[in-house]
């Protein structure tokens, strides 16, 4: 017998290396070919894409339990074995040898746990019958020993396998690696658990079969005698069968009766089946007729939907064209006309029921109809808004106010005598009052007329125009169009959300472009009086707060865009005013109060008059930007001439406080800047007064400063003995500084008065100067009393009386 791959120790080691780490021991490994075989017309067995594989039987012991596996290994690109599939032998249910293969070397293994039983299992082809029998016997022995059961065997005789196993029990050389070296051991197939003859056929059965076969061997050599013997035995068997039948006549009668009864049942069943067949034929004919009529109805439905949709599209266009062609319907010169859509809605409402039926027949037809309605009505709405806005601007009489408020070259009276421009903001409010409720009502009517499943956009008594005065006209609250939904169960949460999104997209088509006329009114009002942006911002915010967040989506977006446009225009005005303030830096010399400080007070007073509703924040932001730029510019200008910087600062900060005193009491933002200016004023006053005092009494206070510095390092008793601080030095200093002190104080007053342009500040500054001088002289007198106790100087009381007399 040729050497089998089952005896290939190198193959077994390669298999063990491939499953290393699984703690499984390879019992047998053998090379096979994997394929899916079919019989061709030529009668030869064909293999489709046969692939070389290695089947390995492995076992794993865990305690007293032993598990058996069938592993399929394939060759990688480098010729190394690697695991491909793993089957558990406990799930092996069937071993079938393919009878279509003449060689008998092809078989399949059926497992009961495969996911898809409809897919044919792979076929395994061996090199010869011996390899096939060796693998299958090993599998059956393992199933018998470990699992205690055998799978179903098809296509091979187990007796034949037992006989083959008895005749082919070869010795297999195995090697195992021990610590003392490589030892070769000779074991029999029975040691590898391939003892099929003992497992499948008992010894007694084998002896009986041999005896039975022996009885027939005697006559096989003589063909004629053996043939005669077979004929005699056949006749004897037939005679015995006839005799047995005759003896069992009652049983035969009983069987015949049963057969007759069964025949009757079969006849009845045949009759019933015939009846059912007739009924089924009629039913099939009826069904074919449910189908023909349905096809006819589908065709009628499609025709009706197409013609009705075409009619409605033309109807919407004709209605709008008729209204647009009538010029008296729109605003004209000298006549501001309010749009009225009552007749239009009445004519559309006539076909509301038709739209409901179209929706129930074919919901997809509503999309083109909605677009056609939006396209037609958009032309009408834009024409109405354009004509109304043009006539509104033409009929509003208002003088244009200056946009330059804080320019240094502008005269003081130009910004103070501004004309009344309230008509501008009134015109903008009128535009919103007329069109915002109209647009909301059109959105609500469109949503219900075009069968959107959304909540009511304007609930009864809802805020549609920002002042809780109800809706645009008496016809608006008739949102249900006088009809009811055909299918009340269609309003689901998911549908509502999707329909709301679709509605907002349609409203975009319906109302898009109308915002340009609102923008035109805003820009026109800005050119006349930029400060009217404050009023318009408040008006817009009031309307915006009155709109539901989830209703009439485009109207809310329109109001939001208008608010942004107004804020942008007002920001332009604020930026330009800030540039006007910054242009003051170009002047080489600045004296007195800057012109933009009183003008800002006038501007702030005017801005406060225009505030409405939520425009407070807009104005406060402008205040913050204005004053920040004013103070920064003021500080920069002061640095151009440091000699007069403090006088320049205190005069301007004082002017800022005086001009904004009343407003700061009622406007918190201005109050914050008022206190900031007050602190800056005090600091500038302190620096300027200290400079004047030190200029007139420099030696006196320098002497005091030297004493104060030395007191940190030496005791007071040692100071009179220091160079320049003796009693003689004290007397000389007092003589030079305080002889004629009244003249020095008078000179101090004149110096304070000399460069001051705001005479109204002089009394308060002089009072601060006298108080500061007395505080400093008091500190000097205390030092002298402590360091020079025997020396006498003019008292503080004398100085106070002298200052009071001047």
- The percent helix, strand, coil of the chain (3-state, each to 5) is 65, 10, 25
Can you tell me the distance from the alpha carbon of 35 to that of 32, in angstroms, rounded to the nearest whole number? 10
Please name the CATH architecture into which domain 6-38+49-168 falls.
Answer: Roll (2.30)
Counting Cα atoms < 13 Å in the Cβ hemisphere of 122 gives 16
Can you tell me the distance from the alpha carbon of 493 to that of 559, in angstroms, rounded to the nearest whole number? 28
520 confidence band (pLDDT: 50, 70, 90): very high
Answer yes or no: are the C-beta atoms of 433 and 465 closer than 8 Å: yes
Q: Which of 10-24, 44-58, 299-313, 645-659 has the lowest mean pLDDT?
A: 44-58
Can you tell me the distance from the alpha carbon of 47 to that of 34, in angstroms, rounded to the nearest whole number? 9
Structure tokens at 249: 């006549």
Three-class DSSP category at 800: helix
Structure tokens at 224: 């004629």
Per-residue confidence (pLDDT) for residue 185, from 0 to 100: 34
Q: What percent of the chain has pLDDT over 70?
A: 80
Return the DSSP state at 489: G
Q: How far is CA 447 from CA 228, 490, 568, in A?
A: 104, 16, 33
Answer yes or no: are the C-beta atoms of 92 and 111 closer than 8 Å: yes
Give φ, ψ of 101 to 5 degrees.
-90, 115
CB count within 10 Å of CB 139 equals 22
Answer yes or no: are the C-beta atoms of 441 and 472 closer than 8 Å: yes
Three-class DSSP category at 403: coil
Query: What's the average model confidence in pLDDT over 798-803?
Result: 78
Residue with tokens 């003019």: 794
Return the DSSP state at 4: P
User: Would residue 258 be called left, alpha or beta, if left means φ above 0 and alpha means ψ between -120 and 50 degrees?
Assistant: alpha
* Residue 740 burial (10 A CB sphere; 0-12, 13-18, 19+): exposed
* Residue 728 burial (10 A CB sphere; 0-12, 13-18, 19+): exposed
Give me the chain's average pLDDT, please.
78
Best CA proximity match to 174, nearest among 165, 183, 162? 183
Return the DSSP state at 405: S
User: Would residue 547 be called left, alpha or beta, if left means φ above 0 and alpha means ψ between -120 and 50 degrees?
Assistant: beta
Structure tokens at 73: 């290994």
Higher pLDDT, 100 or 467: 100
Per-residue confidence (pLDDT) for residue 214, from 0 to 100: 58
Q: Which of 19-23, 101-105, 376-380, 495-499 has the lowest mean pLDDT?
A: 495-499
Higher pLDDT, 104 or 197: 104
487 confidence band (pLDDT: 50, 70, 90): very low
Q: Which helix (H) or strand (E) holds 123?
A: strand 123-125
Query: What's the average model confidence in pLDDT over 517-529?
Result: 90
Per-residue confidence (pLDDT) for residue 72, from 0 to 100: 93
Flag whether pLDDT at 199 surpasses 60.
Answer: no
Answer yes or no: are the C-beta atoms of 436 and 465 closer than 8 Å: yes
Can you tell me the distance from the alpha carbon of 688 to that of 302, in angstroms, rounded to the nearest whole number? 95
Residue with tokens 């503080």: 796
Strand order of the β-sheet with 92-97 is 81-88, 65-75, 45-62, 25-39, 123-125, 106-111, 92-97, 152-154
Per-residue confidence (pLDDT) for residue 213, from 0 to 100: 59
Query: What's the average model confidence in pLDDT over 339-356?
Result: 87
* Residue 537 burial (10 A CB sphere; 0-12, 13-18, 19+): buried
For residue range 420-445, list pLDDT tens digits in order: 788 888 889 999 998 888 888 888 88
31 confidence band (pLDDT: 50, 70, 90): very high
For residue range 445-454, list pLDDT tens digits in order: 888 888 887 7
125 confidence band (pLDDT: 50, 70, 90): very high
Three-class DSSP category at 58: strand
Can you tell me the distance from the alpha carbon of 140 to that of 150, in angstroms, rounded to the nearest whole number? 6
pTM of the model: 0.55
Q: How far is CA 65 from CA 91, 143, 146, 444, in A?
A: 16, 14, 9, 78
For residue range 555-585, list pLDDT tens digits in order: 888 888 999 999 999 999 989 888 888 876 6
Query: What's the average model confidence in pLDDT over 383-396?
Result: 88
Q: DSSP secondary structure string, 51-120?
A: EEEEEEEEEEEETTEEEEEEEEEEE-TTS-EEEEEEEEGGGEEEEEE-TT-TT--EEEEEETT-S-TTSP
Flag whether pLDDT at 56 surpasses 90.
Answer: yes
Q: DSSP secondary structure string, 139-173?
A: HHHHIIIIIS---EEESS-HHHHHHHHHH---EEE
Higher pLDDT, 620 or 783: 620
Q: How far is CA 804 from CA 294, 438, 759, 799, in A?
A: 117, 77, 20, 9
Q: How far is CA 669 from CA 557, 606, 720, in A?
A: 31, 16, 57
Flag whether pLDDT at 188 surpasses 70.
Answer: no
Flag whether pLDDT at 179 surpasses 50.
Answer: no
Domain boundaries, the chain: 6-38+49-168, 303-403+423-456+496-584, 600-805
Per-residue confidence (pLDDT) for residue 672, from 0 to 100: 92
Q: How far is CA 183 from CA 9, 26, 173, 178, 186, in A?
A: 14, 18, 11, 7, 10
Can you tell me the distance from the alpha carbon of 131 to that of 105, in angstroms, rounded to the nearest whole number? 8
Query: What's the average model confidence in pLDDT over 736-743?
Result: 75
**Helix extents (H) in 34-169:** 129-142, 158-167
Q: What b/e readout covers 35-48, taking b as 16+ CB neighbours within 10 angstroms? A: bebeeeeeeebebe
Can you tell me the distance from the alpha carbon of 283 to that of 290, in angstroms, rounded to the nearest whole number? 10
Can you tell me the distance from the alpha carbon of 253 to that of 247, in angstroms, rounded to the nearest whole number? 12
Return the DSSP state at 127: S
Flag whether pLDDT at 197 surpasses 80.
Answer: no
Per-residue confidence (pLDDT) for residue 475, from 0 to 100: 42
Answer yes or no: are the C-beta atoms of 603 and 623 closer than 8 Å: no
Per-residue confidence (pLDDT) for residue 57, from 0 to 100: 93
Per-residue confidence (pLDDT) for residue 712, from 0 to 100: 84
Three-class DSSP category at 111: strand
Per-residue confidence (pLDDT) for residue 32, from 0 to 100: 92
Per-residue confidence (pLDDT) for residue 58, from 0 to 100: 92
Flag whether pLDDT at 631 surpasses 60.
Answer: yes
For residue range 611-623, list pLDDT tens digits in order: 876 778 888 899 9
Per-residue confidence (pLDDT) for residue 568, from 0 to 100: 93
Flag whether pLDDT at 547 surpasses 80.
Answer: no
Flag whether pLDDT at 638 surpasses 50.
Answer: yes
Per-residue confidence (pLDDT) for residue 282, from 0 to 100: 87
Can you tell me the distance from the alpha carbon of 131 to that of 113, in angstroms, rounded to the nearest whole number? 27
Counting Cα atoms < 13 Å in the Cβ hemisphere of 768 gives 18
Question: Cα–Cα–Cα angle for 36, 40, 44, nearest 5°?
Answer: 90
């Amino acid at each position: 017998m040729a050497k089998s791959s089952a005896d290939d120790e190198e193959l077994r080691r390669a298999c063990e290396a491939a499953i290393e780490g699984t703690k499984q021991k390879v019992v047998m490994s053998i090379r096979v070919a994997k394929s899916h075989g079919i019989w061709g017309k030529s009668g030869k067995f064909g293999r489709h894409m046969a692939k070389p594989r290695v089947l390995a039987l492995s076992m794993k012991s865990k305690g007293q339990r032993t598990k058996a596996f069938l592993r399929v290994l394939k060759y990688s690109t480098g010729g190394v074995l690697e695991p491909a599939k793993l089957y558990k032998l406990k799930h092996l249910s069937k071993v079938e040898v393919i009878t279509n293969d003449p060689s008998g070397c092809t078989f399949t293994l059926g497992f009961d746990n495969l996911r898809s039983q409809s897919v044919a299992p792979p076929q395994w082809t061996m090199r010869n019958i011996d390899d096939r029998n060796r693998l299958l016997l090993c599998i059956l022995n393992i199933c018998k020993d470990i699992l205690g059961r055998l799978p179903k065997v098809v296509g091979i005789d187990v007796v034949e396998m037992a006989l083959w196993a008895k005749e082919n029990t070869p010795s297999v050389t195995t090697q195992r690696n021990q610590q003392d070296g490589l030892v070769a051991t000779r074991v029999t197939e029975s040691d590898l658990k391939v003892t099929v003859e003992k497992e499948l056929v008992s010894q007694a059965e084998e002896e009986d079969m041999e005896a039975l076969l022996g009885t027939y061997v005697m006559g096989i050599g003589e063909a004629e005698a053996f043939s005669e013997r077979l004929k005699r035995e056949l006749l004897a068997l037939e005679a015995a069968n006839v005799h047995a039948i005759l003896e069992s006549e009652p049983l035969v009668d009983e069987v015949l009766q049963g057969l007759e009864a069964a025949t009757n049942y079969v006849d009845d069943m045949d009759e019933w089946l015939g009846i059912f067949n007739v009924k089924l034929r009629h039913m099939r004919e009826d069904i074919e007729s449910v189908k023909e009529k349905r096809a006819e109805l589908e065709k009628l439905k499609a025709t009706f939907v197409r013609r009705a949709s075409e009619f409605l599209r033309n109807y919407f266009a004709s209605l709008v064209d008729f209204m647009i062609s009538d010029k008296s319907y729109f605003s004209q010169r000298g006549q501001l006309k309010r749009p009225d859509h009552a007749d239009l809605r009445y004519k559309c409402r006539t076909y509301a029921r038709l739209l409901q039926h179209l929706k129930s027949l074919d919901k997809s037809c509503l999309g083109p109809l909605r677009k056609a309605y939006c396209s037609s009505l958009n032309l009408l709405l834009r024409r109405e808004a354009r004509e109304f806005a043009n006539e509104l601007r033409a009929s509003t009489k208002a003088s244009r106010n200056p946009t330059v408020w804080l320019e240094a070259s502008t005269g003081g009276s130009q910004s103070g005598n501004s004309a009344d421009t309230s008509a501008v903001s009134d015109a903008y409010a009128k535009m919103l009052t007329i069109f915002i409720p109209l647009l909301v009502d059109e959105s609500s009517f469109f949503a219900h007329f075009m069968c959107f499943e959304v909540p009511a956009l304007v609930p009864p008594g809802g805020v549609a125009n920002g002042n809780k005065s109800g809706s645009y006209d008496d016809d608006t609250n008739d949102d249900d169009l006088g009809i009811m939904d055909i299918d009340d169960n269609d309003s689901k949460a998911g549908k509502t959300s999707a329909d709301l999104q679709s509605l907002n997209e349609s409203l975009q088509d319906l109302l898009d472009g109308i915002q340009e006329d609102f923008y035109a009114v805003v820009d026109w009002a800005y050119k006349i009086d930029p400060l009217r942006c404050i009023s318009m911002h408040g008006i817009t915010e009031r309307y915006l707060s009155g709109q539901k967040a989830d209703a009439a989506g485009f109207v809310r977006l329109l109001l939001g865009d208008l608010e942004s446009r107004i804020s942008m225009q007002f920001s332009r005005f604020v930026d330009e005013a800030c540039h006007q303030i910054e242009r003051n830096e170009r002047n080489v010399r600045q004296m007195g109060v800057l012109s933009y400080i009183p003008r800002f007070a006038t501007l702030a007073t005017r801005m406060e008059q225009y505030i409405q509703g939520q425009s407070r924040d807009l104005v406060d932001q402008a205040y913050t930007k204005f004053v920040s730029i004013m103070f920064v510019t003021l500080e920069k200008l002061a640095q151009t001439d440091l000699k007069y910087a403090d006088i320049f600062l205190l005069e301007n900060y004082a002017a800022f406080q005086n001009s904004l005193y009343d407003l700061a009491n009622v406007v918190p933002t201005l109050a914050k800047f008022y206190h900031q200016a007050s602190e800056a004023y005090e600091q500038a006053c302190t620096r300027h007064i200290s400079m004047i005092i030190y200029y007139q009494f420099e030696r006196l206070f320098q002497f005091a400063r030297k004493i104060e510095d030395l007191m940190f390092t030496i005791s007071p008793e040692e100071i009179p003995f220091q160079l320049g601080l003796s009693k003689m030095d004290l007397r000389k200093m007092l003589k030079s500084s305080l002889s004629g002190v009244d003249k020095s104080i008078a000179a101090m007053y004149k110096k304070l008065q000399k460069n001051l342009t705001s005479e109204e500040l002089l009394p308060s500054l002089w009072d601060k100067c006298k108080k500061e001088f007395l505080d400093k002289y008091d500190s000097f007198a205390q030092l002298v009393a402590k360091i020079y106790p025997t020396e006498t100087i003019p008292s503080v009381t004398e100085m106070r009386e002298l200052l009071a007399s001047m």
